[in-house]
Amino acid sequence: MPGKVVLVTGCSKGGIGFYLCERFAEQGCTVYATSRRLETMDGFKHLVEKRIMDVTNDDDVKLVVKSILEEQGKIDIVVNNAGAIAIGPLLDVSLDQARKAFETNTYSVLRVAQAVAPSMVQRKQGLIINIGSLAGNIATPWNGLYSAAKAAVRALSDVLAMECKPFGVKVMLVAPGQVRSNITANQAATLELSPTSIYKPYFDRVYERLNGSQAEGSMDADEFARRVVVKVLSPNPPSYISLGGMSSLFGFLSWLPRWLVLWIVGSMMVWTKS
């Protein structure tokens, strides 16, 4: 579908958003990549317009959306990809950390959707894509904030899909499994537990969870993006996509009783000390 205007959030080099921009541009779309800093988006091989946008800032989002609509007259597809990992035991995190996790991973989705949707409703067409996570489908230990924030994204996506359907606007939830990207790079160098944490004996388990998405069997971020874009630009895009390492396992787990899922995941990630 050449000629589509696409807005993607969270497009730092090496991440899923960066490669989504490349693959949309490769298919002839007019692509707007956004990040908090322009220099983080260096290296596009295809023609991609870059914009500074902080998804946690109302004014930033409204101004960028307005500028694209003035330039192009429409936004056909918006991809809410911006997000940040938040590894650590729930009992150790501060409420400030919790607020930041939800601000970046969840509230940003609603903020961007509210800014873009009116123009889509007016044209009676458009697609809102929200990047969730398998961890939002089945929560995983040591990743509680991220799991909770992405679970909220799943709920928001479901409700948006129902509420937007009468106006011709579609909503798609994409739940990545293990995908090799730069999402853990920032926290990897600073991850530590408080000296008073009751979870000190489990630090190795926590660190393993941080790097879980980069483990053997993970899907390359560019390949992930290529497959997603093929689905998105198909004549009848699905409402849900799950790709990447562990996606088949988590799909199987979703059919099991909750108590059994907690036992399996807990056995894998918690109940063995460092």
List, by residue number, the catalytic residues. Answer: 146, 150
Q: What gap in Å lies between CA 17 and CA 15, rounded to an integer?
A: 5
Interhelix angle 144-164/95-102, nearest 10 degrees: 30
Interhelix angle 144-164/108-123, nearest 10 degrees: 20
Residue pair 17/130 in contact (Cβ under 8 Å)? The answer is no
What 8-state DSSP symbol labels residue 216? Answer: T
Residue where the block lists tokens 């607020």: 99
Q: Given the DSSP bridges, would you call strands 5-8 and 77-80 parallel, antiparallel or unpaired?
A: parallel
Q: What gap in Å lies between CA 25 and CA 35, rounded to an integer?
A: 17
Residue pair 139/157 in contact (Cβ under 8 Å)? The answer is no
Q: What gap in Å lies between CA 182 and CA 257, rounded to an integer?
A: 34
Task: Please report, as a single letter, which amino acid is at residue 245.
Answer: G
